[in-house]
């Protein structure tokens, strides 16, 4: 039995296939003709231009060499804050490192006569609000209805979380407001924004606030990335370093058991311990802003640049080398 299968095309199917192949050949012929006509047109155009302006020299006909961009490997760029084109890598905003940094930015705004920006920086660090909430503040949030006295607290719903933030108005905020109101000659509306835009007189955009703060950091050549979140981070950093108050958690645990609370946070909120703790922290930040503390360097958190890390590693390596030399008896003038 023969298993080979022989396929026989009918005349109709054969003619259909033949027609399809002829159509494909005609299509390709038309494409070749189009390219030929285009080439003839470009050749004739070049001849007319050469007749009018002259032929190009061999040097001009050679295409210019484009500068090849240097490839940066991860190892080459591991400890650099800059990209291969010289631009700084995107980096989150840093907190200030010392009272000198905070005061330098204050002086920068005052020397340029920008009292509004000075007040925004001072009050922003004192309150620790996000830039979106800070720029949403109105005079009525701080000043009472009589336009003469300050409110004891700022009550504002945070835009990001929707939670109520009950901020204590500290001495640093009041003194900053005094200077700010004096600069605007006490002309304000309680419904007006505290830091309005100079162009629209309405709410300042967050991008504009970032630009104001960033320009100060660049002008002062600070080794930090100053941005809109710098104020909030600085507030947290200052509070962690300056505020030394604490709560007796043993007493809180005892009261938690007596009240049969399932969480210590519920007990602290019930006793008002949270608000008391927050107020003490804000007062401590206010004292720092006013220069009443003996704290200058702020070391909370990881506020070190790559240069600082390399410098510390070099110092440790040098120290370990001296220790080895001393232990081997080759270094006799070792001092602790």
| Residue 330 belongs to domain spanning | 304-336
> Does residue 257 sit in the same domain as residue 309?
no
Report the domain count for the chain. Answer: 2
> Does residue 118 sit in the same domain as residue 257?
yes
> Does residue 152 sit in the same domain as residue 183?
yes
Cβ-based neighbour number of residue 289 at 10 Å: 28
What is the predicted pLDDT for the residue at 168? 93
> Does residue 105 sit in the same domain as residue 225?
yes
> Does residue 181 sit in the same domain as residue 311?
no
* DSSP-derived secondary structure letter, 186: T
Distances (CA, A) of 143 to 42, 137, 139, 165, 229: 77, 11, 6, 17, 25
> Does residue 185 sit in the same domain as residue 244?
yes
> Does residue 149 sit in the same domain as residue 176?
yes
What is the predicted pLDDT for the residue at 93? 84
pLDDT, averaged in runs of 10, over the chain (336 residues):
53 75 88 90 86 73 61 52 64 86 94 95 94 94 93 92 90 96 93 92 91 92 88 88 70 73 74 77 91 80 49 62 63 43
Distances (CA, A) of 160 to 199, 207, 213, 274, 321: 27, 17, 21, 21, 52
- Tens digits of per-residue pLDDT, 290-314? 999 888 888 654 444 445 545 655 6
Q: What is the CATH number of the domain that holds 146?
A: 1.10.443.10
What is the predicted pLDDT for the residue at 208? 92
196 assigned to some structural domain? yes
Q: What whole-number distance in Å separates Cα of residue 60 and Cα of residue 58?
A: 5
17 assigned to some structural domain? no
> Does residue 170 sit in the same domain as residue 275?
yes
115 assigned to some structural domain? yes
> Does residue 195 sit in the same domain as residue 323?
no
- Tens digits of per-residue pLDDT, 98-148? 999 999 999 999 999 999 999 999 999 999 999 999 999 999 999 999 998
What is the predicted pLDDT for the residue at 303? 44
Long-range contacts of 46-52 (CB under 8 A, 24+ apart): none
**What is the CA 39 to chain-centroid distance, rounded?**
54
Structure tokens at 55: 């032929």
* pTM metric for this prediction: 0.62
39 assigned to some structural domain? no
């Amino acid at each position: 039995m023969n298993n080979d299968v022989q396929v026989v095309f009918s005349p109709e199917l054969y003619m259909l296939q033949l027609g399809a192949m002829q159509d494909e050949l005609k299509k390709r012929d038309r494409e070749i003709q189009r390219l030929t006509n285009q080439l003839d047109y470009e050749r004739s155009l070049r001849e007319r231009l050469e007749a009018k302006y002259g032929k190009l020299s061999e040097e001009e006909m050679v295409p210019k060499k484009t500068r090849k961009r240097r490839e940066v490997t991860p190892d080459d760029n591991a400890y650099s804050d800059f990209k291969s084109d010289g631009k700084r890598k995107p980096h989150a905003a840093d907190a200030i490192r010392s009272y000198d940094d905070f005061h330098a930015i204050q002086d920068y705004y005052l020397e340029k006569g920008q009292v509004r920006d000075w007040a925004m920086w001072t009050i922003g660090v004192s309150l620790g609000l996000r830039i979106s909430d800070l720029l949403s503040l109105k005079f009525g949030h701080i000043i009472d209805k009589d336009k003469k006295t300050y409110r004891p607290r700022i009550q504002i719903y945070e835009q990001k979380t929707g939670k109520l933030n009950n901020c204590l108005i500290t001495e640093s905020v009041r003194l900053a407001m005094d200077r700010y109101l004096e600069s605007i000659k006490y002309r304000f509306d309680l419904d007006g924004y505290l830091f309005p835009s100079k162009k629209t007189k309405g709410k300042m955009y967050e991008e504009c606030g970032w630009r104001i703060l960033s320009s100060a950091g660049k002008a002062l050549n600070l080794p930090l990335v100053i941005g809109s979140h710098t104020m909030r981070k600085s507030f947290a950093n200052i509070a962690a370093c300056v505020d030394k108050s604490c709560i007796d958690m043993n007493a809180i645990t005892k009261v938690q058991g007596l009240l049969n609370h399932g969480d210590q946070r519920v007990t602290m909120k019930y006793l008002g311990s949270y608000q008391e703790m927050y107020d003490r922290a804000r007062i401590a930040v206010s004292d720092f802003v006013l220069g009443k503390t003996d704290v200058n360097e702020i070391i909370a958190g990881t506020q070190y640049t790559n240069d600082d890390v390399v410098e510390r590693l070099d110092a440790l390596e040098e120290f370990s080398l001296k220790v080895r030399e001393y232990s081997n008896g080759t270094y006799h003038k070792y001092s602790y």
